[in-house]
Structure 1
Amino acid sequence: MQSLVATRSELLDRRRRAVFVSQGRDLLKDKRTALVREFGRHQAKLLSGLELLRNRSVEARRRLDEGVAVCGPEPLASGALSAATGISAQLTSRTVAGVRVLELRHGRVRSDPPGRGWAPALASVHLDSVATAYEELLDSFLDLCAVELSVRRLATEIAQATKQVNGLENIVLPGCTMRLARSR
């Protein structure tokens, strides 16, 4: 065990350390509050987006099954191959209390029937229906990608800040004040 030196300068030094630890704890609490606020904003977006994604996924699968039943798998596979086009995307980030939060902006996913790569007069109505459903699904999916990644990062940082605050409150600060009480 460390021996305590009961001098005035030692007492003042320990008081300064206790104040310094308290200030650090308060800063971490402010950081955690900002992160929780941002997490709540992203969480609402994520939950509503997941519900929309689920609904669009069910609808797209229903239309695909219907198209396969009516047209067969070959015309749909052929249409999927001819419709392969690129989508532009831009990933940006901003910082919230030292944590990078991502935002994804993407180009137009939905295209008009002539822009899909097949002749509208020769293609089945079901092919257009399936293409539209999956374009809507992809649009929802892209909207959700960056939100989910940001929510995961924010949750990790909130947990880390909470551990740090608890460590300062329950271990470091009581250790400083206990030594102060013994040195008096």
Structure 2
Amino acid sequence: MTTERNNTLTTRTGFQFEVRRARPEDELTLAEFFTHVTPADLRFRFLGGVKVSHERLVSMTRSDDAGIYNFLALAMDGMLIAVATLACDEPPRRHGEVAICTRADHKHLGVSWELLSHIAKYAEELGLHTIESIENRENQAAIELEREMGFTVAAYPDDPTLVLVRRDLRSRPAE
């Protein structure tokens, strides 16, 4: 089963960062992080123009739901550079939804790629069969990254502005 220790990841560009689960004391750090995210990325992450409220920060740092996992990616100097959520379905927990957001000044370093790869491995360890993400069609960078990682892209039911990207973890391609 998964452990709660920090994991040091290295991107293809050689950039290193640590990933760990979010904790209640991370709320202020998370609030500061979102001041370094572009308005478009906030819209893509939350699928709408969202001001990140105190309630949302609380939900990202404290979860009463055993099927929700919030992760923080921290540069080696401790700066929060990306956040990710894995929200699983009801037991027996075979399906999860992923959402990732990266600071504007840390894009194109491979952070999102490595963080998504880490989440996919975590999901496999949990026994999930699939992970998916709902993406705005305009978020071509995320959709292309997910395609490169073996996700399939399909129209999202009842909303032509969105797509559903899904990856079967039981037949995962080599990374």
| Structure of greater Rg | 1
TM-score normalised by length of structure 1:
0.19
Point out which structure has higher relative CO (alpha carbons under 8 A, 6+ apart): 1
TM-score normalised by length of structure 2:
0.20
| Larger fraction in helix | 1
